[in-house]
Amino acid sequence: MENRWDPAAAAGFVGPVEECVYCTRLIGSEPALVLHGGGNSSVKASFDDITGRAIEAIFVKGSGWDMGSIEAAGLTPLRLARVRELLELDELGDIDMMRELDAARLDPTAPSPSVETLLHAFLPHPAVLHSHADVIVNLTNVENGAALIREVFGSAVVIVPYVMPGFDLAREVRRTFPQQAQAGTTGMVLLNHGLFTFGETSAEAYGRHVELITKAEDWLEEKAPTTAHEPPGLPDVEPTEIAELRRRVSEAAGAAMILSRSTDLATRRFVSRADLASVSQRGPLTPDHVIRTKPFPLVGREVERFVSGYRAYVDEYRDRARTELAVLDPAPRIIVDHELGLLAAGHTAKDARIAADIYRHTMPVIERAEDHLGGYRALDAAALFDMEYWALEQAKLSMRGPVPEFAGMVAVVTGAASGIGRACAEALMAHGACVAGIDIAPGVGGAFTGESWLGLVADVTDSAAQENALKETVERFGGVDIAVVAAGVFGPSRLLDGLSMEEWRDVMRVNLDASADLLSSLHPLLARSPVGGRVVVIGSKNVPAPGRGAAAYSASKAALTQLSRVAALEWAEEGIRVNLVHPDAVFDTGLWTEELIAERAGRYGLSVDEYKRRNLLGAEITSTDVAAAVTALCGDGFRATTGAQIPIDGGNERVV
């Protein structure tokens, strides 16, 4: 392990709490040490209250803070004497423990402290760092894990058998630590859990973390070198196969799910194993992962078989629950398949990515243990159930806020780099959807940030490029539920007798031909949507009220309207609804320039502001107004509407 301590950077972190922040970041920014919430840190230091009195305190990583980017506010100060008093109790339930820890906070605005606070408070060292290092669990998740840890580290570490985090674990450490700790002890290994190191300072605890993990890496590299063979490639898979699998996973979950695919080298090697069905079912690296991945993945594509197995697992162990059981949905979160590779499911793109990250770290650990260390062995199903249905996790279910309207849904928006398309993409994401935005503009990739956005550069008139964009969308998100056809061009403003056929065809290719091609390609994906496909086509006021000098634009939008009506007729029996909006005078789009607006206003003898508001309501229409209508049409409020045409024009005398 690289020692990333930088004296120059560390000089900016003055005092024990700030030094703990710096060392926590060093640990937390290493995915092989800390993965999505695993790990914590603490330092015992003085806390000066408002009266100036110094109180002996422990500053512990608070809930909700990421170790890789933590600030001092993320270390919760607690009265150390009070926390240690709790260790004297014979029993303390998880909910009661967290209530007492919250009450012991010296700053009531600080976050709830780590569930392992009692353990940190007991350890007789000022600074403590904890990680779930891959190489440590690679040594512990085998038949003789304790013996292997002792062989690698000797007396440098205390070895603690697995116990659920919280009061029981702290009591076990209190019992075990004095029996094993010696003058040269620098760390502690919790079997099937991770590594603790400690010291007089956080810097010393960090240095010991580096030392012990490096020793584990060197031992594994010598005794159990990683497999390096090139696995076979995976066959081409039709996007509809992934979309169909996503539909079944979503039905099992009772809600739309994101399904993200990985086909990297480590994945291909793992799914090509002859013993995949066996090794994949032996449990996660640490029980904490079960919250994200379920206790075991689905092997293959029989979602119904997984659901039956998960329900049987819950039924077998439900009597172990310490509170009233709120049964989680039975849908798989990880799927491993000889042809598809690794697929990770989640209610959001972030959830799916976290599950995938965890399993990408799991696969090489399983392989190494299975091939070189006598076999991979994780905790049994009963212990995993205890974690998955832990009272503290169950309590979180009741605190969840409302689910966004389009959570778990996937939208495709063309023309997404600017104007109406961009506004639609933004609105859909604001309502919880993942959005793949397609545009010819190179900047579409950076139009938005976040895991719910996928910007794809493609010319919609290039059928192959558009098809590849849809394939990429399915690989990233699993399918398509919503489509907004917004890409369009106006073309030169010419009277009909001055319009060239080349100009005519250019407009038709973008506004009509590309849209027909897109709808044709989208249909099999929309038909497999777990929530019913929803399509909104951006038409134009020029359909019912064409304008002079806009023959190609008006005709293309009229033809697009008819095309959309036919799609509504043909696709209704599959639950796909197709509607149109007809905007007018939306001037914050790429179709309009300041010069063109001024020229048009002058033609009517109006000021620019008057021209923008020349409708019955006197309203200026924006892309956001159009996006609001589009979003509404995609929602359940219009579940019984298809083939509709809605004007977004402030009221037009030629249309009303």
Active site residues: 553
Count of CB atoms within 10 A of residue 1's CB? 18
- Measured at the CA of 179, the angle between CA 173 and CA 182, to 5 degrees, comes to 105
Long-range contact set of residues 26-30: C-beta below 8 Å, sequence gap at least 24: 26/206, 27/67, 27/129, 27/131, 27/206, 27/209, 28/66, 28/67, 28/68, 28/69, 28/70, 29/67, 29/68, 30/1, 30/131
Pairing relationship of beta strands 54-61 and 157-160 according to DSSP bridges: unpaired
DSSP state of 62: B
Both tokens of 466, joined, read 């558009």
Which conformational region is residue 418 in: left (phi greater than 0), alpha (psi within -120 to 50 degrees), or beta? beta
d(CA 434, CA 444): 15
For residue 157, what is the enclosing H or E element? strand 157-160
d(CA 342, CA 382): 26
Burial of 201 from C-beta contacts in 10 A (0-12 / 13-18 / 19+)? middle
Contact 643, 567 (CB under 8 A): no
DSSP string, 340-400: TEEEEEESSHHHHHHHHHHHHHHHHHHHHHHHHSS-B----HHHHHHHHT-HHHHHHHHT-
In total, the chain counts a number of residues equal to: 656
Pairing relationship of beta strands 75-79 and 341-346 according to DSSP bridges: unpaired
Taking the CA of residue 125 as centre, how many other CA atoms within 13 Å lie in the half-sphere pointing to its CB? Answer: 25
d(CA 418, CA 593): 13
Beta bridge partners of 299: 336
In this structure, which amino acid lies at residue 285?
Answer: L
Which residue's structure tokens are 């794809």?
A: 456
d(CA 366, CA 373): 10
Measure Cα distances from 473 to 208, 332, 342, 531 in Å: 44, 21, 16, 17
Taking the CA of residue 98 as centre, how many other CA atoms within 13 Å lie in the half-sphere pointing to its CB? Answer: 16
